[in-house]
Amino acid sequence: MKLEPGTGDGDAGPTVSLPIPQADLDDLPVSWEAATTYHRLKQRMPRHLREVVEARAIDEIISRARRLLRHTSRPSRAVEDRWPAEGALDLDATLDQPRPWRPEDLVVRRIEPREADVVAILDMSLSMTGDKIALVALAVAILRIKLERLAVVSFDSEAHPLVRVDETVPVREVVRRVLRVPAQGFTNIEAGLVAGRAALRAGRHRERVGIVMTDGVANMGADPVQAAGMMPRLHVVQVGPEEPQGVRACRGMAAAGRGRRYRAVLYTQLPAVVRQLVRECFGA
């Protein structure tokens, strides 16, 4: 037995942490099963067991994200500059300069990290089940591992900021916050986009991008296409079966947001589609 500080939820003093019997641990789900069942089990389990399943779910999600990203690099961009700035000599660009050449006419190029403020906007309405939420959390983990500054917003009937763009949050905590979102309410895509735009306003980089993951079938709120047009740039990942309303909305949002539309017919395809988006849109 050991004493631990109070949780801050009205505790007057330290709490007692008892070891969990091995038999109880053996009965808990592990690996991907922990990730897909956590959302269903978390309301039924005592806190000490719930925390074990949550930790296992997060471990598996991050492990899968890192395996998917094994051969990818951080987003970067080529920068052209003039000597004596750092970089490799670009002979062709230098020879294009008018003669006679001066030292400052030497053109150099270097590779720098590509800096962008990005917000992930997640559809977490009532239709989301445990396996879908686990796969959305996996997609967000991919974004957080690859992108230095990632805000996260979820939406159902209303929007709920989960991570600010100026907040330094480890990938583990980002995944935890996504897993803890309750699947509830209606689908108000417009509210998610408005909150995503507000999140990006707190950014400090010139490049600001939203990524919305949804089936596109809104049953609450105003037209999301109009809200998409207010985003600096918006990429759309349409998830789920083809629905005429959803197809029209997702195509319209991508066009209005001057971004791309990606398609994941099955939620199991979502992580790979998000990995493709990062590679194509951020050069990673």
Global pTM value: 0.80
Q: Which pLDDT score, from 0 to 100, does residue 76 have?
A: 55
Of the options 3.40.50.410, 2.50.20.10, 3.30.56.10, 3.40.50.720, the CATH number for the domain spanning 117-282? 3.40.50.410
Strand partners, 117: 149, 208
Q: What is the pairing mode between strands 117-123 and 76-82?
A: unpaired
Which residues have C-beta within 8 Å of that of residue 49, sequence separation ≥ 6? 20, 24, 28
Residues of the chain with pLDDT > 70, as a percent, come to 81
Task: Average the pLDDT over 138-163 and give the result.
Answer: 96
Residue 134 pLDDT exceeds 90: yes
Q: What is the pairing mode between strands 76-82 and 2-4?
A: unpaired
Please give the order of strands across the beta sheet that includes 76-82.
76-82, 107-113, 88-89
Residues in the chain: 284
Give the confidence band of 114 by pLDDT, cuts at 50, 70, 90: low
Nearest to 145 by CA among 64, 210, 201: 64
Give the confidence band of 282 by pLDDT, cuts at 50, 70, 90: confident
Question: Could you report the per-residue pLDDT of 194-224, keeping only the tens digit for each?
Answer: 999 999 999 888 899 999 999 999 999 999 9
Strand partners, 118: 150, 209
Q: Which pLDDT score, from 0 to 100, does residue 24 have?
A: 64
Task: Average the pLDDT over 135-149 and give the result.
Answer: 94
Q: Which pLDDT score, from 0 to 100, does residue 44 have?
A: 86
Residue 275 pLDDT exceeds 70: yes
* Residue ranges covered by each domain of the chain: 18-61, 77-112, 117-282
Q: Which pLDDT score, from 0 to 100, does residue 59 have?
A: 97
